[in-house]
Structure 1
Amino acid sequence: MSLAFMRPVRREDFDAILELAKLSGGGMTNLPSDPDALRPRVEFAADSFTNNPTSPSGEVYMMVLEQDGKVLGTAAVFSAVGLDYGFVNYKINKTVHVSKQLKKRVERRLLVPTHDFSGASEVGSLFLSPEARGGGFGKFLAKARYLFIAQHRTLVADPVTAELRGWRAADGKQPFWESLGKLFFDMEFEDADLANSAMGNQIISDLLPRHPIYVAMLPEDAKACLGKPHDSALPAYNMLLKEGFAFHDYIDVFDGGPLVDARINDIKTIKESRLYPVETGDPGDAPVYLMAAGQLQSFRVTRAPGKVDGERMIIAKDAAQTLGVKAGDEIRAVKW
């Protein structure tokens, strides 16, 4: 079995990515299971690596996890979001009402539409095939994105955000959407999510209320969804928190899922990664590292033992071949 590695998406990966999207169960706006919505996303992502960008201009750097010629997962870095229509979230704010006559002071929560993260970057589209789960590949996918950012600092906006799928019941019911978004979109969650994926955020600005909404007016099951990730997204949420991301009371306008954010310099994997000139050889029982090399089209990430010898790192021949490096080339590595 060859080493698994991350690489930039190609147009010919479409069929494999579509199969992964169908397995995701829906709710991943950036990985729609509809072929007509997914294809332009894959094509745009493939072009993002070849258009020689010089600044964060809305590129989507989608990568795939490959092993033995099979695509097993996806993850992406969005260089800057909301440049065309704005990136809309609800911010959970507090308001206070006071009546001197009644001697009452009441605190209430408000959902306030914001564009606070328009122009920020985003990490997302993380999905792993069920057949590859249990081998640490979810962690692999997540951390590979941060090594990409570390290698392409001028191409990715700061801060970095991540949106998690909001909670929904086992029967598919989405209480937050049912009590709020559906009233204004007049369609089912899956249809609105697909429309947002295919048409962009302008439809959110067009149809959702522009004024703050009192949380007290929502039903109890919708209130319970605020900032609560989908059960299947909980491991990803916890990994983000360990990386230095934090929840600052921003939620998705469709499903109420949490948005977390971090400054690039505060992301653990980026802070702890180092650059090493590489040499091929026998690393022996050296610790395992996540290693990255290359820029844009040539970018690769793999997981392998690495022996630090002074300023250089010794890695096995198969790891060097997977990364596309030779003796003297530079790699970025962080302990696994």
Structure 2
Amino acid sequence: MSHAFMRPVRREDFDEILALAKQSGGGMTNLPSDPDSLRKRVEFAAASFEANATAPNGEVYTMVLEKDGKVIGLSAVFSSVGLEYGFVNYRINKAVHVSKQLSKRFEQRQLVLSYDFTGASEVGSLFLSPDVRGGGYGKMLARARYLFIAQHRALIADPVCAELRGWRGPNGEQPFWEAVGHKFFEMDFEDADSANSSLGNQIINDLLPRYPIYVAMLPDAAREILGRPHDSARPALNMLLAEGFAFNHYIDVFDGGPLVDAAIDDIKTIRESGIYKVAVGDPGDAPLHLMGAGRLQSFRATRGHGKTQGDVMTISQEAASALGVKPGDEIRAVEW
């Protein structure tokens, strides 16, 4: 069995990524199961690595997790988002209403369209094949993105945000969409989600109301899931929170799922990572590390034992091969 490792997406990965997209069950805007939409995204991501950018300008750095020659998962870093149409969310605001004559005071929540994260970077598109879950690969997909950011600071905007899929009922019900979006789009959730994926956020700017929506006027089913992730996205949210991301009352305009954010320097994997010279040998029972090396098209990340002595880290030949490094090269590593 080969050493599992992360690498930049290639155009020839399309068929395997499409198979993953179909396993996702829908609701992942950045991983559409529509072949035409997905092909454009794979092409754009591959071109992003080839462009050798010098600053964040909307590039999408999608990476795949390869094991035994097969793509088993993927995740992405969006260098900056919303540059063309704006990056739109609802912010949950608090409004206070007071009547001295009636001696009444009410605090009400409002949904207000927000463009606060336009120009920020984003981590997303994380999906792991259900066939290989439980082996720490989801954690690897998530944390490898932060090593990539650390290796490419000039190419990634600060802060970093992440959107999680919103809650769905056992039969696919979308209470938030039915209460809000459907009223203005007059489309099923899947059709609107597909349109947003293929056409961009301008359709949101065109159709959603620009005025605040009082939460109290929504049905109970919609109010109860504001900021609640899809059950399958709960582990991803927990990993983000453990990394230092925080929920600051921003939600997705389609499904009400949470948006979390963090300053780059506050992300735990980045903050605790270090640069080491490579030595190849037997690391023994040294601690497990997540390791990354290379730049853009040559970037690789893998998991393995690493024995540190000063600024030197001894790793196995298998890990070195997965990273594409040799003795004396530099890697960035953080304890697993």
TM tier, smaller? over 0.9
What's the offset of the Cα at 1:223?
Answer: 0.2
| TM-score, length of structure 2 as denominator length | 0.99
Give the aligned residue type for 2:222: A
Match in the other structure for 1:114: 114
> Is the counterpart of residue 157 in structure 1 residue 157 in structure 2?
yes
Q: Please list the CA deviations of residues 64-98 of structure 1 after superposition, one character each: whole Å capped at 9, or x if unmatched.
A: 00011000000000000000000000000010111
Distance 2:316 2:233 in 1: 35
What's the offset of the Cα at 1:7?
Answer: 0.1
Give the aligned residue type for 1:152: H
Distance 1:45 1:155 in 2: 14
Q: Please list the CA deviations of residues 231-274 of structure 1 after superposition, one character each: whole Å capped at 9, or x if unmatched.
A: 00000000000000000000000000000000000000000000
Match in the other structure for 1:274: 274
What's the offset of the Cα at 1:225?
Answer: 1.2
Distance 2:52 2:298 in 1: 12
> Is the counterpart of residue 238 in structure 1 residue 230 in structure 2?
no
Matches within 5 A, 1:5-154: 5-154=5-154
Matches within 5 A, 1:171-320: 171-320=171-320
Distance 1:58 1:203 in 2: 19
What's the offset of the Cα at 1:127?
Answer: 0.2
SS at match of 1:49: helix
Give the aligned residue type for 2:152: H
| TM-score, length of structure 1 as denominator length | 0.99
Distance 1:212 1:310 in 2: 56
Question: Kindly, what percent of the aligned residue pairs are identical?
Answer: 73
Give the aligned residue type for 2:251: I
Gap runs ≥5 in structure 2: none
What's the offset of the Cα at 1:24?
Answer: 0.3
Distance 2:310 2:97 in 1: 64
Give the aligned residue type for 2:128: L
Q: Please list the CA deviations of residues 134-176 of structure 1 after superposition, one character each: whole Å capped at 9, or x if unmatched.
A: 1000100000000000000000000000000000101001000
What's the offset of the Cα at 1:186?
Answer: 0.5
Instruction: Tell me whether 308-317 or 230-239 shows the greater mean CA deviation.
Output: 308-317
Give the aligned residue type for 2:6: M
Distance 2:51 2:265 in 1: 26
Structure 1 stretches (4+) deviating beyond 4 angstroms? none
Distance 1:134 1:101 in 2: 60
Distance 1:231 1:283 in 2: 39
Distance 1:101 1:326 in 2: 78
Give the aligned residue type for 1:34: D
Distance 2:48 2:334 in 1: 26
Distance 1:233 1:117 in 2: 21
SS at match of 2:131: helix
Distance 1:152 1:135 in 2: 28
SS at match of 1:74: strand
Give the aligned residue type for 1:175: P
Distance 1:321 1:100 in 2: 73
Q: Please list the CA deviations of residues 183-211 of structure 1 after superposition, one character each: whole Å capped at 9, or x if unmatched.
A: 00010000000000001111000000111
Match in the other structure for 1:326: 326
What's the offset of the Cα at 1:321?
Answer: 1.0
Gap runs ≥5 in structure 1: none
SS at match of 2:13: helix
